[in-house]
């Protein structure tokens, strides 16, 4: 009996195709992540909206008897001095930012890529309401303070040191990427009855003419004060 001929694999199942596809994907991601602050792009009031949510965090801290711990009491007003995301190795100084003449959220100066901006018109760390922090993803000289912000995971802490010596500890609830074409103002900036935090930087694809297409937004809430 004649030997059976082996069927050729479809082209899309070959090792060469898989390797080529992986290389192209890596190239796209690296190119998209290489320029944000060069155009000042870290998030504007009224900008960003759309896809890519990350799963919400699990239950908060619990007491020895297994019941959920009561939420911490809001802190009085005191300006922020430093900003930490331990899981990403971020430990940065903080400066106040405001809205510009077009009612858009300012970003830290491009020549200070390691600086985090804190919106002075909103709550300070630990105060009731929605506090907003913003920073560059990158600048013309390389990665900036929030280069890896999209990789923070739900359940991880964000610590903000205050001028009075206390530290507001927030826990990440979720991370979302919103297209700038339809940014959901109310979802991101809307006021809340408990102390919450939004951390913004740019994301998506980069164009030399228009900058980044999207914003990365981290949603977090106060879980401790020390």
Q: What is the pLDDT of residue 171?
A: 97
Determine phi and psi for 195, rounding to 5 degrees.
-70, 120
For residues 105 and 43, give the distance between their C-alpha atoms in angstroms, rounded to a whole number.
Answer: 7
Q: What is the pLDDT of residue 51?
A: 31
What letter would DSSP give residue 50?
A: -
Q: What is the pLDDT of residue 65?
A: 61
Do the strands 116-119 and 90-97 form a parallel or antiparallel pair, or are they unpaired? parallel
**What are 203-217's pLDDT values in tens digits?**
767 767 666 667 899
Task: Please tell me whether residue 181 adopts helix, strand or coil conformation.
Answer: helix
Q: What is the pLDDT of residue 64?
A: 59
For residues 127 and 116, give the distance between their C-alpha atoms in angstroms, rounded to a whole number.
Answer: 18
Q: What is the pLDDT of residue 58?
A: 41
For residues 158 and 37, give the distance between their C-alpha atoms in angstroms, rounded to a whole number.
Answer: 22
pTM for the whole structure: 0.71
Q: Which residue has the tokens 């200070």?
A: 112
Q: What is the pLDDT of residue 222?
A: 97
Which of these CATH numbers, 2.60.40.2140, 1.10.357.10, 1.10.579.10, 2.40.260.10, describes 40-56+81-225?
2.40.260.10
pLDDT < 50 regions, the chain:
1, 11-12, 17-60
User: What are the sequence ranges of the domains in the chain?
Assistant: 40-56+81-225
Q: What is the pLDDT of residue 133?
A: 96
């Amino acid at each position: 009996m004649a030997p059976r001929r082996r069927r050729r694999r479809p082209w899309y199942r070959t090792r060469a195709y898989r390797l080529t596809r992986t290389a192209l994907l890596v190239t796209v991601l690296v190119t998209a992540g290489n320029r944000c602050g060069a155009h000042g792009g870290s998030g504007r009031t009224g900008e960003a909206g759309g896809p890519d949510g990350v799963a919400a965090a699990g239950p908060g801290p619990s007491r020895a008897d297994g019941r959920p711990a009561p939420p911490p009491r809001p802190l009085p007003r005191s300006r922020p001095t430093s900003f930490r995301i331990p899981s990403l190795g971020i430990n940065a100084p903080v400066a106040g930012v405001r809205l510009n003449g077009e009612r858009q959220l300012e970003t830290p100066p491009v020549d200070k890529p390691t600086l985090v901006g804190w919106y002075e018109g909103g709550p300070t760390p630990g105060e009731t309401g929605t506090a907003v922090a913003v920073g560059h993803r990158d600048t013309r000289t390389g990665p900036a303070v929030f280069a890896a912000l999209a990789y923070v995971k739900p359940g991880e802490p964000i610590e903000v040191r205050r001028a009075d010596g206390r530290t507001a500890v927030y826990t990440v609830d979720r991370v979302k990427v919103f297209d700038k074409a339809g940014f959901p103002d109310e979802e991101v900036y809307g006021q809340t009855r408990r102390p919450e935090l939004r951390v913004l930087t740019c994301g998506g694809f980069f164009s030399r003419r228009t900058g980044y297409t999207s914003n990365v937004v981290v949603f977090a809430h106060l879980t401790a004060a020390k």
